[in-house]
Structure formats: C-alpha cells, structure tokens
Structure 1
Amino acid sequence: MHAYRSHSCAELNKDNVGENVRLSGWVHRIRDHGGLLFIDLRDHYGITQVMADPDSPVFKDIEKVRSEWCIRIDGNVMARDESLVNDKLPTGEIEVFIRDIEVLGAANELPLMVFGDQEYPEDTRLKYRYLDLRREKMQDNMKLRSDVVSSMRKRMWDKGFREFQTPIITASSPEGARDFLVPSRLHPGKFYALPQAPQQFKQLIMVSGYDKYFQIAPCFRDEDPRADRSPTDFYQLDLEMSFVEQQDVFDTIQPVITGIFEEFGKGRKVDQTWEQISYRDAALWYGSDKPDLRNPIKMQVVSEHFKDSGFAIFAKLLEQEGTEVRAIPAPTGGGRKFCDRMNVFAQKEGLPGMGYIFWRKQSADSIAQERGITVKEVNALIKSGEIVLGDEAAGPLAKNIGPERTEAIRQQLGLGVGDAAFFLGGKPKAFESVAGKARQVIGDELGLTDTNRFAFAWIVDFPIYERDEETGKVDFEHNPFSMPQGGMAALDGDPEDVLGYQYDLACNGYELVSGAIRNHRPEIMFKAFEIAGYGKDEVEKRFGGMVNAFQYGAPPHGGCAAGVDRIVMLLADADNLRDVIMFPMNQRAEDVMMGAPNLPMNEQLRELSLRVVPQES
C-alpha cells in the first residue's frame, strides 16, 4: 500500500465496503458521541467520515487529535445505516473504521477556524493565508481560477493563437501608473522596471511577423488599492493580432469571454449580443465608462426644461457655458421616503442634495391647497363629479417649475404614476461619477437590476486628448498609442474632436477588457505626441525600441487584454480581488505573511551602489 493513501477523501463509496484503505488529510471536524469519535477527514478533493470506538486499537491516540492536524489513517470501509446517509457528500454512503493512525503534522492553537463561515479581519486572513486557503470557499475560488485560465488557453489555441512569453525585467515606460523599479548591480545608478503590461513587446512580436500572439501575462503596477484592483501585480489574458480592424478584435475575443462565462457562470444568463456604446454616450447615459447594463436606467439631458424656470439654482447654473442638467429616471421610486433616502445618499457623496420630482394620483389635500379651499369642500366636489382626480407631480422642483414643465419632463423620460426622477446639474465631469453611483443605487434599491445576468458592452470612440480648462494645454486623456480615427488627417483639426480606435469591455460595472488598434505609423505617432507637447526626441527617448521597429515595415495591428482576476471575481461572486488571488497584498500593499516590503541588508545596498535616505518625520 502507498505510504500515505490508497484513495483520496472524495473517492470511496458503497462499492468499497469491506476494503482496507489508507487516507491522509486534515482533521476538519471532530464529534464525540458518547464514546464514539467521528472525524471529518478532508483533503483537496473532498471529505470522508472516519470513526473509532473504544475497541479501536488506537482509540487513545485518536482522542488526542485536534482540528487541522494532518493525519494518516488505515481502516475498514463500512456502509452507513440508511438513516445516516449524507446525500450532500460523494462519500456520504460510507464511513471508515480506524485501525491505525499516524500524525503527519500536529497543529498549534488556530488563529482562524477552517471549518465554518466565520469572518476574520483581513490582516488575520492574509497573515495566516495558508489556513485561510484551506477553507472551502477559498479552495473553490482557487480551483475556479485555475480552471478559467486553463479554459482561456484552450480557447485561444483553438483560435489559432500561439503563446509567447515576454520579459519580466525591462525598461521603465510610463503607461499611466507608477513603475516598480529594479536596481541594476552591473550598471550602478541605473534601473530596470517590472512591466506594467507586455504592451510594447507584444507589438514588437507583430512587427516580427508572428501574426497572432497571446499570453497569460503578469503585470506590475505601483497603484493605490481598490476592491477590484491589486496594488502590486495582476494577471491578464493578453493578445495581439496583425492585419486587423477593430471589429476583428471584437469578433475574436467575444466568443472566448462568452464561452468562459457560460462554462463557469453557474447557469446565469450571458449576453450574446454586445452593444457598442461611445465613450461620451456611456458618460451621459450611465455616468461611467464601465456601466452596469443589468440596470436598465438610462440618464438623459433635461436642461431645456429648467432654462428660465422658477428653480433658480438650475436656471442660473445653465447660464454658464458648458453646464447642463441631467435626469436619472427612477421607475417605481415615486414616494417621498425613497426620495429622502436618495437625498441622504447625495449628502454622503458631498452634495447638498438631489432635486427630485415624483408622480402620484392627486389627493384631496393637494387640490385643497392648490385652490385655497377645505378638504371637505374638495371631497364634495369630487362626489358631485365637478373634480376628477388625475395625476400630479410632487416635490420641491415640481412646485418651482410648474405643471407644464414637469409634464414635459415626464413625457421625455417615459415615466408615470408611482415613478420619480432625480436631477443633478453643473459641468458634466464634475457630477457624472456621482450621477453614475446614484443610478446604480436607485437600480439596486428598486429591484430593477437583474442580478442573474452577465451584461456586456463595448465602450468605443474614446477621445485621445483633453484640454485643461485653466491653462488651455492639451494632453492625452486616453491611450496615446491608439490609432486616431481618420489617421493623420484627423490630427489637423481640433484635438478635442480626435477619437481613437480604443475600446473597453464593460461587464456588470467592471472593466474586463481594454485594447486598441495601434498607431503603427511613426509619422502619425510623432504628430500625435507633438499635439500633446512631446517632441520627437522625447518620444524616441521614452519609446525608442518600438519607434525604431516601426521604421522597418510594421503591419497594422491591434489587440486587447482581459483581466483574469476580475473575471474570476465576477464568476466567484466575490466582492474583492483578494478572494480570488492566492497570495495577495493587503490594502497597504504589504505582504503580512512574508513580511514584505522589508529593509535590505547593508551588503545588498553596497552591491547595488544604493543608500537609503531616511524619511523626514
């Protein structure tokens, strides 16, 4: 028999009854039933119930065993009584009577329990990550991650792509985030960088004539952490193709992503048709360039209804150039309590509040106030048929702008009795993000968001440039390496009108994929950078390797990268990337388990010709 096991803890069933077996694993749970000891023995594959009574030759040794000890047992497979069969376990029809036991690794008192669903502070989970990873949910998440990556590879190979590895140590090349720098021992005072992405290398692979490339690539960025972003490193499905247009990239990656979500989405609906939404429309309709389309609410501009209106705040605001008022429809939200809750939300976001209108059936009270008569008189008029109760708009805004304007807003938004609308005004960039959050809160609270669905949309037509309102200086707003739509001719007009062949894929409020058709023409690239104030020498200095390569017959090419961590996070129903990464950093970019970052030894610093300058307190 094997030294440690004849079967895994998920294999045994009633066909094995009567066999002598050997199992190894961790003590998941111990139950003492009046002299009968039951142990749920767990390994990576499952759980088997093993048991002993005082007749077992090693009963006294078994009594000493505690949770999470790693043990080996030998025993006889027995059928469970029919009333004790556990249908939830593959091994639920049997149990193993222990004849021998060996402690392979005893455990100290546990800082966190593996059995059960107790919540622990993040730093506790990360410091003892090897225990946290033993928990069922984490085991499932990591298996899911491995299976997703495997499926990605198979799907890319099936599409005719080959996997090539790009360097991990390279030159610093700012791409929107901070680099992690690596000092060079052989070249004192000089530094390598960990790649923020394989961007330049994968483009060089296209210049080298390989046509289709992919890689499950590690990327390194010194970023501030968020729930959906790692502060140090992450993985992406990176791909690039030659002789393609934007739609070719979409047609290549869509079946890969769709297939992954169908395979691992636990039966949830996966959108088959992916809408293409311009960046500016996404900002207008959803207040975000990564909209959650499970929420059907679409915001609209309603400025015309507030110009020269009785609501002075918006009326005066609209006299300023570049301002507008947007409405967030709230179907079924037509009640004062809900409107008050949304006002509280706005105040938490740093606003004084949100204007609102809600529509309801007229009441005798409101008619009495409007006509200056008593409710009793109104009721009499209703009874006589002289007054017919209709619909009315309520709320402070409705009183200020009057019935004609409120009715025009209702018609534009397609709302009715029982619905509401919320309003924000100003320069769009100043309030779009809050409007987007409000839209999401409204959709969630009113039950409008379809939580059993993966909703995808391509966000396209990103503006390449933006102009600083104070200085008038033009700089890049988005990827400077994407090909301008219209090529060189597009760069002769207003920079703010120049759009790039850049695109993101949004899913359920997250950016899953980002990519572009690349600017492979040196003369167009130099012109594009010149508009943003970067001379030819600066471009060659920063991106010399790629620019030089483009002088030797670069093909048109494009591609994208899909975030592996975010995809798995969505599939696992996790709220945080750290639940789908094996050994993540904490919120302060620290590895509390391994003690990183740490201080280097003096010998190491001398070898690298470095000295640490103490920070001023």
Structure 2
Amino acid sequence: MLRTHNCGELNLNHTGNTVTLSGWVQRSRDLGGMTFIDLRDRYGITQLVFNMETNAPLCESARKLGREFVISVTGTVAERSNKNLKIPTGEIEIIADQFEVLNTSKIPPFTIEDNTDGGDELRMKYRYLDLRRNPVRDNLMLRHRMAIETRNYMNNIGFIEVETPVLIKSTPEGARDFVVPSRMNEGQFYALPQSPQTFKQLLMVAGFDRYFQIVKCFRDEDLRADRQPEFTQIDCEMSFVTQDDILSTFEGLTKYLFRTVKGVEIEALPRMTFADAMKNYGNDKPDIRFGMTFVEITDMVKGKDFKVFDDAALVAGINATGCAGYTRKQLDALTDFVKRPQIGAGGLIYLRYNEDGTLKSSVDKFYNEEELKKWAAAFDAKPGDLMLILAGDAGKTRKALSELRLEMGNQLGLRNPEVFAPLWVVDFPLLEWDEETQRYYAMHHPFTSPKPEDIPLLDSNPGKVRANAYDLVINGVEIGGGSIRIHNKELQKKMFTILGFTDEDAQAQFGFLMNAFEYGAPPHGGIAFGFDRMCSLFGGSESIRDYIAFPKNNAGRDVMIDSPAPIKQEQLDELKLKINL
C-alpha cells in the first residue's frame, strides 16, 4: 500500500506517529522558511509542512509541486498551532520527512474547489476532474448510500434481486426505443429496455413472488433537467397482492430511506385520487408542502357583462395569504408570468383584501363590493390576503393556475427543499384519448389492470375506466409509479384491441407474455422508482445530472468521450447498414 492512512482520518490521537499519505495537491502556500501543502483524497484534506531550516532540499522540491500533482508523503503527525476546526484533520499536520511524485498534472481548466469557476459544459468535458470536487463526490456518496439501504430493506423483507436482459425486442408503444442492429441476424434489431416490465411479470409467472432490481433503462426522448437518455430505476414486483399491499410495502421503503439516509421521520402517506389532484392542484403530482388549493367561482361570477368570465368554462383561483401588499409592479410581473407561451393564460384577475377590510379588484367596474365579498368568502380570505384568478378552457386554466400556485410557493418561501411531503396519487384513468390520432393510449402502460368494478365500461365507455394504478409523489415530483397488472390473457387481448392493436400485432409484440398467462399467472403488481430523481430530491437538487457519475448534456451527448460518434464503414458493412442523411 502506498499509504498507511487516508487524508480524512488523522487526529490528535495520532500525534507522534509516522504515517504515509497519498493524494492530490489541493493548494500550496510558501511562507518564508515554511511551505504548507494541502493534500486531498476522497476522504478529506491534511496539511503537510516542509521546513527550510530542518530540510532545505526537501522544502525546495516541495515548492515545485503543482496543483493536482499526485504524491506520496511520509512524515510525523504533529499538533497544529493554528487549528482549523472546520475540517476533521484541522487539529494536526504532517511534518514531512520525504515525498515521492507519483504523477504530475497539467494545470486544470477550472479550479478543483467547492465553488469552482468552471461552467457546466467545461466541467462535463472534464468530468473526471469535476468528480474530484467535494459537492460532486458527496452527491455520488449519497447515491451509493441510497442503493445500499434500498438493497438492505428489500433483502430484509424477502425480495431477491434478479437481472433482466438489456438486449430485448422493440415495442412502438410509449417513448422511442434505442435500437441495436444484430450482426448475426441480418436486418433485425434489438432494443434497449425502457423498463424491465414484461420480464418482471414473467418472473411472477415463474414463481419469484418478490423481485427487485436497481436497473439501467433507456429512452430516446427529448431531454430536460430531470431526464437522461439512460437512467436508473428501483424496479419491483410482487405476487398475490392487492394495491394496498404494494402501497404499504413501498411506503415502508420510502420511510426507511428517509430515516436512514436523511434522518427524517415521515408520517403515514396521505392518498389522493387523480380527480382530486387535478381539481385542487391542476396536476397529478401536487406539491402539498403548502396549501393554496384551487377555489372555483365559475357560477358566482357569470352574468355581469365581463366577457372574460362569461365566456369561460372555468373561473378559478388561489388565495395567497398575507400578500395584499403586493405592488402593481409585482402584480404585473405575475400577469406576465401566466401569459408566457409555455403557461398560456390570457391574463390575470386579482382581488386584494386590504388590511382595513376594504376590497380592491382589477374588475371593480363589473362587480360591486357585496359581490366581491362573496368571492372573498369563497376563498376563505382574511384581511391582508390576495386572490389570484384565471379563466378560460377548463384544462388550460387548471394547468396555468397550477404553475401560478407553484410560482407563488417559490416567492413566499413555501417550497423548502429540506421539508418533505410525500403522498400517493391513486385512481388514475386507465386510458387517455388523443385527438390527433383519434385513438386511446394507455396512461401508464398496456399491462395496467382496470379497477374490477370498471371492467364493464371497457365496452361501453373506455374513457371512464379507472386504473389500478398509483404514483408516489414527493414535493411535486413524481418519484415512482406502478399498478396492479393484468394477469388474464383475454383481458390483456381486450386491452390491446382498445389500444388499436390488431390480433397479429399483439401476438407479434407480446405473444410471449400472453402465452405465459396460460400457464398459471398469479395476480401481481409492482412499482418502479426513479432512482436518479430520488437521489436528487434527497440531495436538494432539481437536476438528476448532479447525481450521475457521467451524465449526458441536454443534447444527449457525452462531451467527455464525444459520443454519439460515427462508426467506420467496415462496421456498417458488417451490419449491412447504409446511412442516408
């Protein structure tokens, strides 16, 4: 071993010991007859001391060391006179007797510090240097801890981890597949899995009644802060269970991870129906760290010659408590916010409940004091509150009001990343209708079971069928989703028919699964957690990139290895592929 200790473990108890440390030169300071070097490894930093009086040649050599040089140093542990209590090794230093340069380093393109001067693209190009920084290393250590604790919990309740194939069959439903040409089967392609969905169901048919896997998945879709083309899931499936059994089991996992990794105790998770989430929060992943739920006043405001309200399918708003003091400039900024193209509202109506009890609205000319008081009563408003109201198409208005609610939550400091408010959202629609293609799509996936009491509606009114599906939502972020699965061949065939599959298409793509259902498939269900997303939530970041060792950029490129990249013509010929750009 090239070291007896690491750079984060020595303390006053080691005083007088001769030790050998190895690591990177973080910084060097020459102070007259002394040279101080901070030596870093992934465990911490230890100060090295070189003295011109006691060993001038060694001190002169030390002064030639550059940033990020890799060295091994042997010396004696001594108590520091000027202690640094901010770091674990801050009470000691190493009086160096000798050192060896294990490797030199070019000057890094950015500083290897907690607060670096490197931009995102530069740090991604030199990701191996970025990983030396404490914040990035800490993120990966958190990810490691999450994985270890997940495996501990799942193992302790009888789950077994089974690896499923990475080269599978392409299915056109859902997001785009990454496809891989097969050299041995000319003209045919594998796909990389978007999920191990069918394989984990087959494991249930095989009798592995409690399966899990921390698994890499792939989707060829447009990227954003919380998406990567390759991502990791905690994938789980259970047999002989109901929805309540699954929610109870994985509520247990959620609480366990919060307790062991974050030191946070989580109460029982509330459950909210999809319908209530959409009605009160405008989306199916509500942030319940704060209130400000929607209040609908459509019937109350019509018939007063205010065309915006009279023509609207929905008039609804939120009560921003204590915000009556918002200035005209602040209200104009909120109006501009909701009118942004990605939000899509036509404008914003406000009602200010002044501290003196008077009411002031942007539509005073259409509504008198008594009518405005009824609005305030509907919002349960008190003096000092500000009501913000949108109107228009019901779906678009709820979506815009949801964004406005979150914006107000941000402005008022109600979305503290260190406060966690998880819940289950249940009773999703099984299907959603697409006007452009004039067909139904599965809201989750085609293997989700309908609620037993809604099965008759599959023939008469498929859009009204509720799914035996559930999502885990934490702080407005969907962390996991799952469902009770279809385990009956005939019901699965009916589902494929509703989704527009011909019998031939269904057999070609999923015949193996339906055939398996004929050999004693047990009732089963499962869930998958977005592991990258969960790590970023626990770490207080909005981007999963910060918690992946080697992420892609927003164009799906790895700028460090310059991938994707062209391949040689010989490889294309071997695969019988021709590129036509």
Write the letter of the residue equivalent to 1:280.
A
Separation (CA, whole Å) in 1 of partners of 2:177 and 2:438 = 29
Separation (CA, whole Å) in 1 of partners of 2:538 and 2:267 = 17
The partner residue of 1:343 within 330, 335, 341 is: 335
The alpha-carbon distance between structure 1 residues 590 and 545, as it changes in their structure 2 partners (threshold 3 A), is same
The alpha-carbon distance between structure 1 residues 236 and 475, as it changes in their structure 2 partners (threshold 3 A), is closer
- Tell which deviates more after alignment, 297-306 or 591-600: 297-306
Does the 8 A contact of 1:296 with 1:449 survive in 2?
A: no
Deviations 1:542-598 (A, max 9, x none): 212211111211111000011111111011112311111000001110011111001
What residue is the counterpart of 2:41 in the other structure? 43
Write the letter of the residue equivalent to 1:496.
G
What residue is the counterpart of 1:383 in the other structure? none
What residue is the counterpart of 2:242 in the other structure? 245
Whether 1:433 and 2:399 are equivalent positions in the alignment is: yes
The alpha-carbon distance between structure 1 residues 237 and 186, as it changes in their structure 2 partners (threshold 3 A), is same
The alpha-carbon distance between structure 1 residues 16 and 270, as it changes in their structure 2 partners (threshold 3 A), is closer
Q: 1:413: Cα distance to partner?
A: 1.5
What residue is the counterpart of 1:568 in the other structure? 535
Deviations 1:440-474 (A, max 9, x none): 11122123445431101111111122334578644
Does the 8 A contact of 1:310 with 1:401 survive in 2?
A: no
SS at match of 1:454: coil
Give the 5 Å matches for 1:146-545: 146-230=144-228, 232-265=229-262, 267=263, 270-317=265-312, 323-337=313-327, 338-348=330-340, 349-361=343-355, 391-468=357-434, 473-486=439-452, 488-545=455-512
CA RMSD across the alignment: 1.7
Separation (CA, whole Å) in 1 of partners of 2:560 and 2:373 = 61
Q: 1:185: Cα distance to partner?
A: 0.2
Write the letter of the residue equivalent to 2:392.
G
Does the 8 A contact of 2:432 with 2:442 survive in 1?
A: yes
Write the letter of the residue equivalent to 1:330.
A
Does the 8 A contact of 1:329 with 1:421 survive in 2?
A: yes
Report the TM-score when normalising by structure 1.
0.90
Separation (CA, whole Å) in 2 of partners of 1:182 and 1:518 = 29
Separation (CA, whole Å) in 1 of partners of 2:161 and 2:311 = 59
Separation (CA, whole Å) in 2 of partners of 1:470 and 1:225 = 23
SS at match of 2:293: coil
The partner residue of 1:100 within 98, 101, 104 is: 98
Does the 8 A contact of 1:227 with 1:575 survive in 2?
A: yes
Segments of 5+ residues of structure 1 without an aligned counterpart are 318-322, 363-390
SS at match of 1:173: coil
Report the TM-score when normalising by structure 2.
0.95
Give the 5 Å matches for 1:27-106: 27-54=25-52, 55-56=54-55, 57-81=57-81, 84-106=82-104
Separation (CA, whole Å) in 2 of partners of 1:264 and 1:339 = 41
Deviations 1:364-389 (A, max 9, x none): xxxxxxxxxxxxxxxxxxxxxxxxxx
SS at match of 2:573: helix
The alpha-carbon distance between structure 1 residues 606 and 254, as it changes in their structure 2 partners (threshold 3 A), is same
Separation (CA, whole Å) in 2 of partners of 1:9 and 1:475 = 56
- Tell which deviates more after alignment, 485-494 or 497-506: 485-494
Separation (CA, whole Å) in 2 of partners of 1:531 and 1:402 = 52
Q: What number of residue pairs does the alignment pair up? A: 574
Segments of 5+ residues of structure 2 without an aligned counterpart are none
Separation (CA, whole Å) in 1 of partners of 2:116 and 2:549 = 19
What residue is the counterpart of 1:549 in the other structure? 516
Separation (CA, whole Å) in 2 of partners of 1:9 and 1:361 = 60
Does the 8 A contact of 1:170 with 1:194 survive in 2?
A: yes
The alpha-carbon distance between structure 1 residues 137 and 93, as it changes in their structure 2 partners (threshold 3 A), is same
Separation (CA, whole Å) in 1 of partners of 2:267 and 2:292 = 20
Q: 1:524: Cα distance to partner?
A: 1.3
Could you say which structure has the larger radius of gyration?
Answer: 1
